[in-house]
Amino acid sequence: MSKRPMTPLTLSAYTLVTANGRGIGAVYQALRERRSGLKPCDFEDALLKTYIGRVAGLEDFSLGADLEQFECRNNRLAWLGLQQDGFMVAVAEAIQRYGADRIAVVMGTSTSGILETEHAYRNRDPLTGSLPPWYTSRYRYTHNMFSLGHFVRACVGLQGPAMVISTACSSSAKVFATAARFLQAGLCDAAIVGGVDSLCHTTLHGFSSLQLLSTSPCRPCDEDRDGLSLGEAAGYALLESSERVGRKGAVALLGYGESSDGYHMSHPHPEGAGAIRAIRQSLDRAGLQPSDIDYINLHGTATRANDLVEDKAVYSIFADGPACSSTKGWTGHALGAAGITEAVIATLCLKQGFIPGTLNCERVDPALRSRILRENEDRPIRRVVSNIFGFGGNNCSLVLGVL
Partner 1 sequence: MRVGILGVGLLAAGLEGWPTGREVLAGTRPFDPCRVPDPDASLLPANERRRSSDCVRWAVQVAQEAMAQSGLDPHEVATVFASSGGEMEVLDKLCRALATTERVVSPTLFHQSVHNTAAGYWGIATSCQQSSTALSCYDDSCAAGLLEAVTYACVEERPVLFVAYDLPAPAPLNGARPIASAFAAALVLTPSVSQALAIADVTLTAAAGRDVSHAFSQEFERLRLDNPAARLLPVLQALAMERRATINLNLLDDQRLIVGVESCRT
For the chain, the farthest-separated pair of C-alpha atoms sits apart, in whole angstroms, at: 66
Question: By CB under 8 A, which span of 12-20, 80-88, 206-214, 298-306 interacts with partner 1?
Answer: 206-214
Contact between 124 and partner 1 by CB under 8 A: the answer reads yes
Active-site choice (155, 333, 349, 361): 333
Q: Hey, which residues between 285 and 314 contact partner 1 (CB under 8 A)? A: none
Question: By CB under 8 A, which span of 125-133, 220-228, 245-253, 374-382 interacts with partner 1?
Answer: 125-133
Contact between 262 and partner 1 by CB under 8 A: the answer reads yes
User: Around Cβ 61, how many Cβ atoms within 10 Å?
Assistant: 10
Choice from 29, 121, 319, 362 touching partner 1 (CB under 8 A): 121
Q: How far is the CB of 135 from partner 1 (least distance, A)?
A: 7
Q: Is 333 a catalytic residue?
A: yes
- Quick one: 1 or 65, whose CB is closer to partner 1? 1
Q: Is 201 a catalytic residue?
A: no
Element (H, E) at 184: helix 171-184
Active-site choice (143, 150, 269, 299): 299
3-state secondary structure of 239: strand
Choice from 166, 297, 301, 358 touching partner 1 (CB under 8 A): 166
Q: How far is the CB of 161 from partner 1 (least distance, A)?
A: 5
3-state secondary structure of 67: helix
Q: Where are the alpha helices (DSSP H) in 235-361?
A: 242-245, 273-286, 304-318, 328-331, 338-352
Binding mask of the shown chain, residues 65 to 104, with x at each position contacting partner 1 by CB under 8 A: ------------------------------------x---
Query: Which of 349, 347, 393 minimizes the C-alpha distance to 170?
Result: 393
User: Around Cβ 227, how many Cβ atoms within 10 Å?
Assistant: 22
Question: Is 115 within 8 Å of 198 (Cβ atoms)?
Answer: yes
Distance CA 251, CA 398 (A): 13
Distance CA 63, CA 79 (A): 8
Contact between 127 and partner 1 by CB under 8 A: the answer reads no
Which residues, other chains included, contact 148 with Cβ-Cβ below 8 Å and sequence gap of 6+?
74, 75, 78, 107, 109, 112, 164, 196
Q: Is 299 a catalytic residue?
A: yes
**Given the rule CB under 8 A, which residues bind partner 1?**
1-2, 101, 110, 114, 117-118, 120-122, 124, 129-131, 135-136, 139-140, 143-147, 149-150, 153, 159-168, 174, 177-178, 181-182, 184-185, 187, 201-202, 205-211, 258-266, 273-274, 277, 390-394
